[in-house]
Amino acid sequence: MNPTLEKLANLLSEMNSIGEKISEITQRPATIGHTGEYIAADIFDIELEESANTKDFDGHFRSGTLANRTVNVKWYSKLEYMLDINPDALPDFFLVMTGPKALEPISKGGIRPWLINYVFLFNAAELVTELTARGVKIGVASSVRKHEWQAAEIYPNRRSMVYRLSDEQMATILAFGSDWAENWF
């Protein structure tokens, strides 16, 4: 066997073992989306829907000023200023966790670690109204301007007034981030 393929096969075996352990915790497949929902549910006190394929939203906030409001959780490995939006099934909010800012538009030679360096909370109806007014096509990878992301930022900078993270929530999110990743992109 080609030594490179053998090494890759061994690494994939390790990755599958880790995925199995993640699935034991989350009770869902070990994908970045399902894992992100699990993390967000704990940090933001979100009750997730029983079914992981509800098209409108992933769950609803259980407490605080957003109690009973629906939320769609996204976890992207890089901040690329794109957001997947289903215009026919809008939640009340999009809670978006991302890794570091994407510095290069190409992925060759890059990595996409599962990190949380930023968290954003968008009012879905307001965002779609703004995007529609600019003529943005709503759907997979909808282009959201940088200033809109900044206005919705709740971590690490507390820019949005819609949701205020506690110090405990901030510390928990910090455990999923890493400064070293900023040097890789």
Q: What percent of the chain has pLDDT over 90?
A: 83
The pLDDT assigned to 120 comes to 98
Close Cβ partners of 52 (under 8 Å, ≥ 6 residues apart) = 28, 34, 37
Tokens of 153: 């930022």
- Which of 102, 152, 163 is closest to 130 using CA atoms? 152
Residue 55's pLDDT is: 72
Q: Give the model confidence (pLDDT) of 110-136 as tens digits.
A: 788 999 999 999 999 999 999 999 999
Q: Give yes or no for a contact between 10 and 1, defined as CB atoms under 8 angstroms apart.
A: no
34-79 pLDDT, tens digit per residue, is 999 999 999 999 999 987 677 789 999 999 999 999 999 999 999 9
Residues 6+ apart with CB under 8 A from 25: 38
> How many degrees, rounded to 5, is the angle at CA 141 between CA 73 and CA 56?
40
Provide the pLDDT for residue 185: 40
| Region 157-167 average pLDDT | 94
Burial of 114 (0-12, 13-18, 19+ CB in 10 A): middle
Give me the amino acid identity at 74: K
Q: For residues 71 and 57, give the distance between their C-alpha atoms in angstroms, rounded to a whole number.
A: 5
Grouping H, G, I as helix, E, B as strand and the rest as coil, residue 122 is strand
Helix (H, G, I), strand (E, B) or coil at 171: helix
Give me the helix-helix angle, 32-44 and 3-26, nearest 10°: 30
